[in-house]
Structure 1
Amino acid sequence: MATTAPWNEARPTALLVLADGTVIEGRGFGAAGTAVGEVCFNTALTGYQEILSDPSFAGQIVTFTFPHIGNTGVNGEDFEDLHPAARAGAVGAIFRADITEPSNYRSTEHLNAWLSRRGIIALSGIDTRALTALLRGKGALNAAIAHAPDGRFDIEDLKRQAREWSGLLGLDLAKEVTSGQSSTWTETPWIWNEGYGTATKPPIHVVAVDYGVKRNILRLLSSLGAKVTVVPATWTADDILAMKPDGVFLSNGPGDPAATGEYAAPMIRKLLETGMPLFGICLGHQLLALALGAKTVKMHQGHHGANHPVKDFTTGKVEIVSMNHSFSVDRDSLPEGVEETHVSLFDGSNCGISLVGRPVFSVQHHPEASPGPQDSHYLFRRFINFIRERKGEPALAER
């Protein structure tokens, strides 16, 4: 299999066509064809495989601000979608430089081949800093991305597709990326030169509602002594309670939380009546807020990166975190009894809530750090300790 994309010197082999009619030319990599989505930018310096396989990026075209993407190749361990065959995640990717030959001892595949196999259309050779500045000013934009090795495009049709795409607002994508059935998760985090471990006889049971869950979230829960059962996004509270969990986790995921909340919020409200611990991340955070009576709003450009500063009011500390969201919780809509626990130091947007006096909390960022810093790993321990306290067991030591 060829590891480099074909290039026709006479014409571009990839186009990014924005909804306003702007046409950006580049070189094509990955899958051939056309896709529509919302163009966003991601400021992470590493972890492109995790980013592109994150189900939270479904319906989006990711512009990488770091210029060199693909130089460490890809491997069979660093993907984040729960079901790789379903290929949940970004529909397109935009790079500054062409993909080079991989140079890393863990690499098992060239990024170009991996993109092709996953059906991700990629474009390189453009000024990604200029595109990022455009997105920062105008906000995330709907677009069509196309790759044709022969350089032949129907530009007017691409403009029409970009213009007519409905966008993320009002779009329930959780149903498209969720699990088809329940499953048990036992894998624990990766250890250098050893790989992943396996949990044995975990003492507590956590049900994880899969709105587009990432693997490393499940690994961290498993590493702290939880038997994790992953269930589809559309399961009811009665379905979940029949499994007799000690706590429920609400996962990350893509799309408009208000659309997913049509069925998720009533389920969460019923779980809240039980008094059991609940923990939400990203979309799970937004859905918990909706269930408690708050509102969510579409952001101008969203937060996508592994270097976002967030302050935790419960500890007084500032953490550097990973983020990937295009919607946020409207803090002014938080009802009485719900307090804000985290805030973004970039723009002041809400990044966490808790239910006063109850073992219920959520955060907007991705504390599993895949990719990204591990400053927020303590949140998983906080959730497990809520469960242990309710069961009358001693808390795990803080780290």
Structure 2
Amino acid sequence: MKRAFVVCCVLTLTALVSTLKAAETIVIKSPMPPPDWAVLQRELLRYSSLACERFAEKYVDERGYLLHTIRWGTLDGPDDAIETFYNWTLLHALGGSDAVLDIYKRAQEGHWKQYNELRTKLTELASNGAYYKEFITQSDWFHTGEGMRAFMFLGLSEPTNEMYIQRMKRFAGMYMNEDPEAPNYDPVNKVIKSIWNGSKGPMMRKATVYDWVGDPVPGSFHLLHNPAGRGKLLDMAKWYPRMLAHCNEYLDSVGDNSLNLAATNLALNAYMLTEEKKYYDWLVEYVNAWKERTAATGGNIPSNVGLDGKPGGEYDGQWWKGTYGWNFTIFDGELEQIAHRNYFTAGSWPGFSNAMLITGDQSYVDVLRKQMDNIYAQKKVENGTVLLPQMYGDPRG
């Protein structure tokens, strides 16, 4: 897309110059050295590309498999593996080498194949592979989105790649009820039915810690979700019970969650690639529903919506509850400390921003502005420092 934009600009400039009379034509014939900042940018892109190529030589085999231990889970699972390449497509779009793009595409194809060899015993989510129809079976959009970052930007480099277009349409269709095996969306109440969703549809039960963590595997690893494992290798068999304890309070699943607004990235990309109006219509419909719910809660973006479409519907109207919600203050049994994990921004800002992008309607980002106004209205100033709240509601209630 970047290259197409450049060509478009050149053609426009050529057409403009051709309309000028000879006497009005400006002739530029004095060569100039490029400015230092431009040279440095090109060198940064060149060396970043070389770093990617050298990494792949060592850690990606001829099948595109990443040389590591595969396992299911949100704590070092499939999303983390493909996240290795999360900014490679963006690097190429900015001017990185074609080799970077070729390696990413090989690694993405290999990733789907590699993780479809996975067979879990303690959770059904990956009992026959982590992916189905090349999309994660069930996960939350905090992690699904992490694993799709490179894929989302591929269109910047290859907007006419037919395989990419078909995949994006298929993935978007999983949230538009085009796939009977993935009934994630309720078009009547305009909700994605669970925080856990994907190619196998929504999870309409409480999750288990095994859904979150997966099976243990033998060996010692850098368990990067834990500070203790960043500087040394930890024996997983010994550490596994504490990994399960990490997710003891992550089990509520049913109902819509603000993280699901990130699913609009699929419809946005499908619309930009195809210009098919159905993707535009779905994105606007879903975000409009969230816009109305946010207005109903005084401008606070709810972190759970019931299957009935009402804010707080799964918690007797308490819109601030839910996994990763406003009052998601928990005891992390792995770190053995209280943790505050309100991640409402992870889905809300892309969702409302995507709606503004395709409609041009600033009222969508006004939702985000109002949310920030509400937060700043509760600020405190201590010793000259402005403190802003990040949580809301009693976590015990």
Same fold (TM over 0.5): no
Specify the structure having the higher radius of gyration (Cα). 2
More strand by share: 1
The structure with higher relative contact order (CA 8 Å, sep 6+) is 1
Q: TM-score under structure 1 normalisation? A: 0.30
Q: TM-score under structure 2 normalisation? A: 0.30
More helix by share: 2
